[in-house]
Amino acid sequence: MVFWGPDFSELQQEDPEIAEIILAELERARSGLQLIASENFTSPAVLAALGSTLSNKYAEGYPGKRYYGGCSEVDRAELIGIERAKELFGAEHANLQPHSGASANIAAYGAFVAPGDTVMAMSLSHGGHLTHGSPVNFSGKWFNIVSYGVRPEDDLIDMEEVRRIAIENKPKMIICGATAYPRLIDFAGFRDIADEVGAIMMVDAAHFIGLVAGKAIPSPVPYADVVCFTTHKVLRGPRGGMMLCKAEHAAKIDKAVFPMMQGGPLMHAVAAKAVALKEASTPEYQAYAKQVILNAQALVSGLADRGMRPVSGGTDTHLALIDITSTGVTGAEAEIRCDAGRITLNKNAIPFDQQPPSIASGIRVGTPSVTTQGMGIAQMDVIADLIDRAVRSADPQEHAVIAKQTEQLVSDFPAYARG
């Protein structure tokens, strides 16, 4: 059998406009440094599954219980993916159908709470996600959200405060996990508090689940009622979401994903998630996950040595939040200056930020992409130097010099080999 798959020349002939953009984006990504903490470079095998004819198949429902005929082959892909997820994470049940991390979170709300209920989550300004209660998100519009944050002394989650707020507000669901929290989360502590107030414990592991898969940090799976995550961050799979839960919640979770919140699954993405789970089960991936953390720690020290303050003093994960107030440059300006040096990172609010989020006093950096490229600790100090110079300079000529040096660095560690 021959794979009927992407032949790029067909796209170039039929739609040169879009083909050109795809090539330009590939060039952008591999000719600069990608330090967005939530991005990665997925494998050719995952991309092949994504670009397959599985995209054509309607498969509403679950393996063996579909609303459509002709699902015998996609059933096999989904069952393999579910088994791999259960095995890799030691979970009792897995659902691979959420279209994204936000969709997985929506399904968790759908399974366990109803509009008007009280839900407790990390405050957005201290690193929580939009789906944790932002007033512009469904979570903030439809639920009574109570928030916890970090302590001003050390930027760490204060478990005593979490407990006090939980007892005071009796939430039906407590969410832990964040988009910009560099430290480990006390899952056992959250479990105790959830039990004390009779709440469901949901872990939003979108950012760090890849580190759990690689056995580089402790797993939330033994503690949580449900773990929601994305498959495209450190985990290095296709863009998408996934959920793990205890067997007792399996039917509830499955019904919340479909038919409550979603329609037909993206079977090409489900198959690609299965491929990524296989990759994440290897010793090579485990070594990768550990290196991601070592690189993040090296990058943080490099920036700290150059006078920037790591929020919470460092990192235990793949990301760091850096308070750049001491440079006199805002997060927004730093993002633009780094971009001019071909360094892609994002501005980020820091806890107790004096600036509005659109300006911000910090930057967020992550090492999943550069580690996939094969960079190590030695390169992190070079990157810290490039960031430091880019942030502190307002001179376009200096930014052009930095851009050249960045290109040189990444050309030694190509993201996708040039044909």
Ligand X SMILES: *Cc1c(COP(=O)(O)O)cnc(C)c1O
Mark residues 5-44: x for contact with ligand X by CB under 6 A, - for none.
---------------------------------x------
Among 52, 179, 344, 367, binds ligand X (CB under 6 A): 179
Kindly state whether residue 364 participates in binding ligand X, applying the rule CB under 6 A. Answer: no
For the CB of residue 390, give the shortest distance to ligand X in the complex, in Å: 25
Closest residue to ligand X using C-beta atoms: 101
Residues 252, 92 contacting (CB under 8 angstroms) = no
Kindly state whether residue 131 participates in binding ligand X, applying the rule CB under 6 A. Answer: yes
Q: Which stretch binds ligand X (CB under 6 A): 25-33, 201-209, 212-220, 367-375?
A: 201-209
Verify whether residue 58 is a known catalytic residue. Answer: yes
Verify whether residue 398 is a known catalytic residue. Answer: no
Among 119, 165, 185, 206, binds ligand X (CB under 6 A): 206
Verify whether residue 151 is a known catalytic residue. Answer: no
Q: Which stretch binds ligand X (CB under 6 A): 87-95, 202-210, 258-266, 296-304?
A: 202-210
Counting residues that bind ligand X (by CB under 6 A) gives 15
For the CB of residue 319, give the shortest distance to ligand X in the complex, in Å: 10
Verify whether residue 223 is a known catalytic residue. Answer: no
Kindly state whether residue 237 participates in binding ligand X, applying the rule CB under 6 A. Answer: no
Indicate which residue of 84, 183, 233, 337 is catalytic: 233
Kindly state whether residue 121 participates in binding ligand X, applying the rule CB under 6 A. Answer: no
- Would you say 205 or 332 has its CB closer to ligand X? 205
Among 61, 81, 133, 177, binds ligand X (CB under 6 A): 177
Site for ligand X in 74-103 (CB under 6 A): 100-102
Among 40, 95, 219, 230, binds ligand X (CB under 6 A): 230
Residues in contact with ligand X by the rule CB under 6 A:
38, 100-102, 105, 129, 131, 177-179, 204, 206-207, 230, 241
Active site members: 58, 60, 204, 230, 233, 239
